[in-house]
Amino acid sequence: MSPKIRTYFDLPESDSTLPDQIAAQDRRVAARLEDVGAVVAIMSGKGGVGKSLVTASLAASLARSGKRVGLIDADLNGPSATGLLGIPPRSLVESGEGIEPAVTPGGVRVMSMALLLEPDTGLAWRDSADAGFVWRGAQERGALREFISDVCWGELDVLLVDLPPGSQRVAELHGLVPNLAGSLAVTIPSGASRDAVARSLDLARARDLPVRGLVENLAGARCDACDRVSPLYDGEAGRELADQFDVPLLAQIPFDRTLARAGDAGALEPWLESGGSVQDQIRALAETVSGWTPAGPEEA
Amino acid sequence: MKFLCVECDRQMTFEEREVPGDGTLAAVFRCPKCERSMAMLTNPMETQLVSSLGVKVGGETVPGTSFEGIRTGVSSGRDEAFVEAATPIQGPVRWTVDAVERLSHVPSFVRGMVKKIYNEYAKEHGIGEITPAIMDRARSDLGLEDM
């Protein structure tokens, strides 16, 4: 009979183990975020609620108020931040320190998969084997990690992360950035949106993710001529979710044709310069978010 | 994952990794006492699974590069997505004209990353000038057959 074989845990660890390499990845993320005041996630349980438009407007407004702002477009399969902020395809400068982000005229530092792909080309992964779906989630998590750790973000007051629809990515982001300053959930007034966002908020709460506020987008339609807002949906998802989860409803942004046009034209920054009730709401939202810190909200 | 030489009751140490380019991987481990070596062979699915985590069997042989997972994983990357900074990525390693010409055939989406890998290899081996022959040697030593 052969002698008893030692077990995995009987043998000493070496610095080449996979857990060690993953820990080293986490350390690179932490090191890159040392000069970042607050990381804020923008999430939604549902697609098509205007989350990216809210995020890009928020980033532009924060920059306009003098904050140093970064924006990670974590919607790898449907990136839109560069289009909304008017950033054309360009080569990203690579140095020994990492990859320089694109910068808008207003100073928002942006990283997006759209900068790495040909226009109108979808994200495709190189699969050397069938069943790529098995590890697709790991690859996308890895891309999000590299968007944080490998980009020369520099000193930032706020780094916004525009997450794709669904709840999985916010949990992954929280795994990468345990001291997330907060997350902002975006909904539209409809009952379907309320149900989808409620599921995300429930999951977020179960995982101790700090949901700090709600935004209800498309909360009516604003008339260009008289500034009056008329309803678009029957529901009141924003208020209902705020009550259900005891989270403040920070803004109710109506459909505004000038905002929609500015987003389509990549001209959100100039749009913010013009006055208006919607711009005022976004400015107020930016002021609130700029007070979020990992330790807790600053007293307003 | 660890390997134990049962005869010697010693933990085997990682020696080299080979990536033949068919999606598989071979990692060689050796017993420090009896010097018997063994190769761990992974199929394309197992190789991809490890790769998707951004880690390497046996550990990193050269320092990681920016967006390594994205650049090696994404097949629809834009050719001019990256441009090297005016200041060279790495220090005083020289490149011969032939080596630069050969590097120019690497898709630009991964070129900066590949250049950094060769520079790191040259530094680690005390090589002052990168030639096509050095590139061949590095590819073989580092298991970069698909680069």
User: Would B120 be classed as within a structural domain?
Assistant: yes
A 87-116 residues inside an 8 A Cβ radius of B: 89, 91-96, 98-100, 115-116
Number of domains in chain B: 2
A7 and B CB contact within 8 Å: no
Residues B99 and B128 in one domain: yes
Q: Do B54 and A2 touch (CB under 8 A)?
A: no
Angle (CA) A253 A256 A262, round 5° = 110
In a mutagenesis test of the A interface, which of B42, B65, B67, B116 is the best target, namely the one with the most A β-carbons within 10 Å? B67
Q: Retrieve residue B52's tokens.
A: 């998707």
Q: Is residue A3 part of a domain?
A: no
Taking only the tens place, the pLDDT of each residue in B93-114 is 888 889 988 888 888 788 888 8
Number of H helices, E strands in chain B: 5, 8
**CATH number reported for the structural domain that contains residue B121 in this entry:** 1.10.8.550
At which of B13, B38, B59 does a domain end?
A: B59
Residues of chain B with pLDDT under 50: none
Residue located via tokens 């550990």: B59
Q: What percentage of chain A reaches a pLDDT higher than 70?
A: 94
Query: Which residues on chain A are in Cβ contact (under 8 Å) with B112?
Result: 94
In a domain, A123, yes or no: yes
Residue B45 to residue A129, Cβ atoms within 8 A = yes
Phi then psi for residue A251, to 5 deg, are -160, 145
Q: Do B82 and A94 touch (CB under 8 A)?
A: yes
Has residue B147 been placed in a domain?
no
Query: What confidence score (pLDDT) does residue A299 get?
Result: 40
The ipTM of this complex is 0.86
The alpha helices in A119-248, defined as continuous H runs, are: 133-149, 168-176, 191-206, 237-245
| End-of-domain residue from the set B11, B36, B59 | B59
Distances (CA, A) of A229 to A27, A219, A297: 48, 8, 31
A25 within a domain of the structure (yes/no): no
Report if residue A23 sits inside a domain: no
CATH at residue A108? 3.40.50.300
Q: Establish, for the pair of chains A and B, how many residue pairs have beta carbons separated by less than 8 Å.
A: 147
User: Are B15 and B70 in a shared domain?
Assistant: no
Tell me the residue range of the domain where B113 lies.
62-142
Q: Which of residues 127-146 of A touch B (CB under 8 A)?
A: 127-132, 134-136, 138-139, 142-143, 145-146
Residue B76, in any domain of the structure = yes
User: Which one of B21, B40, B59 terminates a domain?
Assistant: B59
The CATH code of the domain that includes B34 is 2.20.25
Q: What pLDDT does A46 receive?
A: 84
Selecting from A6, A139, A146 the residue whose C-beta is nearest the C-beta of B52 gives A139
* CA B65 centroid distance within chain: 11
pLDDT tens across A127-138, in order? 755 666 777 888
Same domain (yes/no): B92, B132 = yes
A177 is in which domain, residue-wise?
A: 39-289
Phi, psi (deg, nearest 5) at residue B86? -55, -35
d(CA A285, CA A3): 68
